[in-house]
Structure 1
Amino acid sequence: MKKQTIFKTIFGVLFTFTLAFSNQPVVNAEESTSQALKITDMVGREVVLEEGPATEIISLMPADAEILFEIGAGDTLVGRGTYVDYPEEDVQDIPVVATGEDLNVEELVALDPQLVIMTTMALSEDQLKSIEEAGIPVFVTDAKTIDQVYEAIELLGQIVGHEKEADELIEDMSQTFEEYTQKAKEEELDASVYYEITPLEYGLWTAGNETFMDEMGQMLGLENVFADQKGFVEVSEEKVIELNPSIILTTAEHYDTEAPTPEEEIMGRKGWQDIDAVKNDQVFAVDNSAFTRPGPRLMEAIKTLYEYVYDR
């Protein structure tokens, strides 16, 4: 796998490695006596939009952009971060701005946005300060759990004046999760799962408790073998082998047709042959972006997970 691809996978997934922001989510927005919109972001910072709901936005991270498109506000995007790639047909003509260490404030300023939306790992505090000093407000999202995904949707709906559409999306997601939760309750299953987010050669990262991955598994009656860990954490091969999951889900991507698939790579690992998931051919590669982005496509993710677990 190419280095750039690996970086894309890790960067898109490990959004929970936050910088030094205080995490005090608030979902209340208010309009002042003028037309300015004051709204508190997911790390407790008050953001003021002097002209009311934003119509020109740069989204540095994929999930936020996907939410905007899903609530009918994709046309507000005047710029997108390096890894914003969905919906492909809609984003391809939106200018790309470098993300992370390569971020160039002048590049953002040139697009003249009313607002930059980022997550807590998209850029450093120094970069954030530089953007704000250039006169561009910055709104920070920080969704790790499904409830926080709903919170992000609600806030972004307020930012663009699409509150109704945001509420409808939250309801659709809630109903989808409830549907598959009830379907799973009708099945008899005693299974454990290990979520592998990054390939072995770059260190094994997994989802512990207080993550949307873990929550979707719980909905389907799956026991997360790393449920005692919080957030997205690095684990050892030895621990995975010891915990002996009956199902393994990998979000690794496969680009080199001459190389083993992610499933083949896992099943061929030395010392993993006695893991139940490997012995019983229960190792599945899932869509990276659908499973790792805190946005609308988590509905696709739980459907896929259900099919792998119950329909095979």
Structure 2
Amino acid sequence: MRHKFVVLITALLTLSLIAPAAAGAPASTSTQSDELECEYPLEVTDATGETITLEEPPESVVALQPSDAQTVFEIGAENRLVGMPDNPATADLEMGDREAVTDGYEIIHERVIDLDPDIVLAANATFDDDIETLREAGLDVYQFDQAESIDDVRDNVFRTGELTGECEGAEETVDWMDERLEVVDAALEDADRPLAYYAMGDDGITAGTETFIHEVLTTAGVENIAERAGISTYEPLSEETLVDENPEWIIHSDDAELEDLTPDAAESTTAYQEGNVVEVDANQINQPAPQVVYAVVDIVEAVHPDAYEAASEGLDDTDDGDTSEDEGEDDADDDTIPGFGIPVAAAAVLAVAGFLLRRR
């Protein structure tokens, strides 16, 4: 995996990280939409410094990570997608006759090479060795920058649009994200922001201030306990801090039971004792892709029901602009665009980090 963070579980060790938007405020809309290029030849440089040139719009695309596949579906480029991961993190996406390019979360190089795609999309979580192997086989592999905010997710959507020849779909998807987040932000303008703990592992792993998950939490109208603890990436929260700060809410992904994600000390918190627990779709909150917006809305609905009620009409209005053309997909939400996690091992922090990265 790319060791780009400190102790991360979606981005790893030692990376120069960008602080997200302030709590409660939606991330600023990216300006990259003004620079989208769907004219060919197209020349782009990826996170590794590799320059890739596409002479014509790609007819075949392989997505190496779940977030890559989710984004391709959301922007309407799935008809070009010939290979993608087949694991629980893509359970909401239609495999169809596409080739499964993973065994669990491990990339099968031979399958990707045999597909001979025009472009391979690789989220930043992709291991260096995987990218090197595919490039040595003559494939064009584009590795995305690490997504550390919702604005970074927007940028990844735009770039995916360029790389797949779907700029219009990418712009529509980002517009949909922004419209929905603006409705949420307006509804939460006067709301209190209770303290919340995002549980990722029973050793106390949580998402810090320089992660896109932190911005999901703050955009949804809660204060992230990791900020009080001075946690910036994906690191353990001490049991002492958990008890002393006493969060009012615990939020976790739905791919593991709460008891498997929290230390014993969590049982003494107000959140645990009052049953203030929010379970969020793992494939939405843990993947830096458009459906993080659904995670925001789900948290608002649970923590701020009055604000959610006030925002519901506006949210319904944004659904009228559904950008998906895939009628065969099950909706991730009853009132949303089509669909697209993290059992964390209790042992080592790096093991936790690696597993989450693989889900991206």
- Give the TM bin, normalised by the shorter chain: 0.7 to 0.9
* CA contact 1:15–1:119 (8 Å) conserved in 2: no
Partner-residue secondary structure (3-state), 2:195: strand
Q: 295, 315, 320: which one pairs with 1:301?
A: 295
Q: Residue type of the partner of 2:75?
A: I
Counterpart amino acid of 2:290? Answer: P
TM-score by length of 2: 0.70
The structure 2 residue matched to 1:17, chosen from 1, 4, 12, is 12
TM-score, normalised via structure 1 length: 0.80
Q: Residue 207 of structure 2 corresponds to which residue in structure 1?
A: 207
Does the CA contact (< 8 Å) of 1:114 and 1:137 recur in 2?
yes
Report the residue type matching 1:156 in the other structure.
T
Contact kept in structure 1, 2:38 and 2:165, CA below 8 Å: no
Task: Please give the alpha-carbon distance, in whole angstroms, between the structure 1 residues aligned to 2:231 and 2:16.
Answer: 21
Q: What does the per-residue CA deviation read over 1:75-97, in whole Å, with 9 as the maximum and x for residues that have no partner?
A: 11111124352543x22432111
Q: Deviations over 1:113-148 (max 9, x none)?
A: 11211122222x233222111110111122221010
The count of aligned residue pairs is 282
Residue 282 of structure 2 aligns with which residue? 288
List alignment gaps of at least 5 residues for structure 2.
1-7, 19-30, 307-360
Rounded to whole Å, the distance in 1 between the matches of 2:121 and 2:16 is: 17
Contact 1:66 1:86 (8 Å CA) reproduced: no
Instruction: Work out whether residues 99 and 122 of structure 1, in 8 Å CA contact, stay in contact via their aligned partners in 2.
Output: no
Letter in structure 2 aligned against 1:48: T
Structure 2 vs 1, CA of residues 234 and 100 (structure 1 numbering), >3 Å: closer, same or farther?
farther
Q: CA deviation at 1:252?
A: 4.5
Measured on the aligned residues, the alpha-carbon RMSD in Å equals 3.0
Q: 1:85 is matched with which residue?
A: 90
- Aligned mate of 1:132, from 129, 135, 151: 135
1:57 to 2:61 alignment: yes
Which residue pairs with 2:195 in the alignment?
192
The answer to whether the 8 A contact 2:199-2:206 is kept is yes
- Gapped regions of structure 1 (runs ≥ 5): 1-12, 255-261
Q: 1:103 to 1:217 in 2, by over 3 A?
A: closer
- Between the two structures, name the one with larger relative contact order (CA 8 Å, sep ≥ 6): 2
Which residue number corresponds to residue 147 of structure 2?
143
Amino acid at match of 2:238: S
CA distance in 1, matches of 2:134, 2:170: 27
Task: Give the Cα separation in 1 of the matches to 2:206 and 2:37.
Answer: 38
Measure the CA separation in 1 of the matches of 2:205 and 2:12.
12
Q: Residue 280 of structure 1 aligns to which amino acid in structure 2?
A: E
Does structure 1 residue 218 correspond to structure 2 residue 218? yes
Query: Residues 93-132 of structure 1 correspond to what in structure 2 (within 5 A)?
Result: 93-98=97-102, 102-123=106-127, 125-132=128-135
C-alpha separation in 2, matches of 1:263 and 1:127: 33
1:188-239 residue CA offsets vs partner (Å, 9 max, x unmatched): x2410111123x1xx3321111222221322233211101221222333333
Letter of the 1:54 partner, please give it.
P
Q: Tell me the residue number matched to 2:248.
A: 246
Q: Matched residues in 2 for 1:215 and 1:117: separation?
A: 24
Task: Measure the CA separation in 1 of the matches of 2:48 and 2:210.
Answer: 17
Percentage of pairs with the same residue: 26
SS of the residue corresponding to residue 188 of structure 2 reads helix
Q: Which residue of 2 aligns with 1:311?
A: 305
1:175 aligns to 2:179 (yes or no): yes
> Is residue 208–residue 214 contact of structure 1 (8 Å, CA) maintained in 2?
yes
